[in-house]
Structure formats: C-alpha cells, structure tokens
Amino acid sequence: MPEGDTVWRTARQLDRALSGAPLARCDLRVPKLATVDLTGREVLETVARGKHLLTRFEGGLTLHSHLRMDGAWRVYASGRRWSGGPGHQIRAVLATAAQSAVGYRLPVLELLRTADEDGAVGHLGPDLLGPDWDEAKALSRLLADPARPVAEALLDQRNLAGIGNVYAAELCFLGRVTPWLPVGEVPSPGRLTALAKKLLEVNKARTLRVTTGDVRAGRNLWVYGRAGKPCPRCGTTVRTWVPGPSTTRRVAYWCPGCQTGPPPPPL
C-alpha cells in the first residue's frame, strides 16, 4: 500500500502537471461519475491529506481519490503512450493541452464540493507531511487507548495520517519494541512520532524509501520485507507474521534479537 510519502509525491506530480490550466479532457470511468465532465474547468491544485489526494477545480469542486493497495496516478506528456496498465484498469483521465494524468486501479474516486472535503478527510489525525502537523495532538491520540498494540495504533489514520505497513514495522524496530507491545508501555512514545515525522520528511522526495541511512537497494530498510534474512544490526533472522484470511491485521516483520515485547497473537 502506498504510504504518506508516496502520496505526497504523487500530489506534487499531479499539481505540477495540471494546475493553472483548463482541462482539455475529462474521463471518469466509474459508474457514479460516468456523466461528469469537468472539461474547461481550470485545475487549481492537487494536495495530499495523509493517504488521500484532493484535486481542486474552479467552481468549488474537488476530485477525491485514494490509492489503497495498488492504485496509481501516472503523468504523461501529450501524445506519449500510456503505460501504467491495461486500458480496463483506467479509472480517470484528466488532461490539459500539455499533460495527461491517468488514474489506474483507483478504488476510491468521488467528486465533492470543495467546501465538503471534511466529509472525506475530516476524520484523519494530524498529517505527518501536512501544514496541520501537531506532534502533541498526534501523541495524545496515539496514547488514547494504551492497551492497543503499538503497530495497530500507528497504522490508525485517525491518530496520525501517513503511516503504512512499511513505516509501522520500521518504527517498531527503531523503538526496539515488537509490533504487539501495548502502546502505553512503549518507552518514550514521543520518540516514535518524532521519528515518523523525520522518516517521512527525508523520504518524501525520493523513490527508494530509506530508514537505515544506507541508500543501496536491499540495505535501505531494517526489517520490512526481510523475512528470513539476517538483521542488519544484530544478525538475528528477521521473522514475519502473516495474519489469517479472516482478519484485517497486516503482515508484520520484526527482529527477535533487537525488539522486545509480546509475540504475535495466535492465528
């Protein structure tokens, strides 16, 4: 699933490609928007709010999209062949005279009045990469349920917006706790929110996400995606826990040598 840094980067790409020009083409390929045509409206801006994208148009309209697991926006110069996937996966086309933005496999696509955006994103906590970032508020929300497993609390976008499974795993490693330790028992929990902010900020402008300080592929992350491999810090084999099909819990990665706390729950 794309995380907050990826969504922030996508918003910048869309903003640079479309803003300040009228749409020459609008094709929204979802049933509820099939008759909508924004052609001729100027694109004002695209902004990220956590993992949500808000593309605003003159006339007080906003196109809200969310990438979830495998959605993507791709930008192409006019006349260039689109290559983000087969045509049946395209959900949206927004094009100016110079650029085309094509949305592939978008699970969420809706048109809102700009004044009503809170209905889509108002539930989110402080945005790690947004102008509303408030570390004290994020920490307060994170600790509101002290018995909740720390990784689950970090992933809850109502607490702080922008963390996905990669950052949840890496933050637990850097905090030296297993993902299942109750968040109220995490030593110095404020360090987690500060680290989350730092990691997303340093990674928002690059495509290879780095948490180790080593920019070489394969050495850029501590535990995420490293199941069965030695921990870069202590050499212990990194373990993974895959939840059963009936649960919404996500795959977890951790190093038993570096991280302390409860083991994963039984399946």
Q: Which residues are catalytic?
A: 2-3, 51, 250
Q: What distance in Å separates the CA atoms of residue 208 and residue 252, rounded to the nearest whole number?
A: 20
DSSP 144: S
Backbone phi and psi for residue 193, each to the nearest 5 degrees, phi listed first: -65, -40
Residues with Cβ < 8 Å from 121, sequence gap 6 or more? 49, 50, 52, 54, 64
Quick check: 109 and 92 in contact, CB under 8 A? yes
Q: How many residues does the chain have?
A: 267
Q: Which two tokens stand for residue 246?
A: 């009936």
CA-based nearest residue to 159, from 124, 183, 189, 134: 124
Coil vs helix vs strand at 20: coil
∠ CA 176-181-185, rounded to 5° = 85
DSSP 122: T
Q: Which two tokens stand for residue 124?
A: 């989110």
∠ CA 66-71-74, rounded to 5° = 105
Identify the bridge partners of residue 254 per DSSP, sorted by sequence position.
239
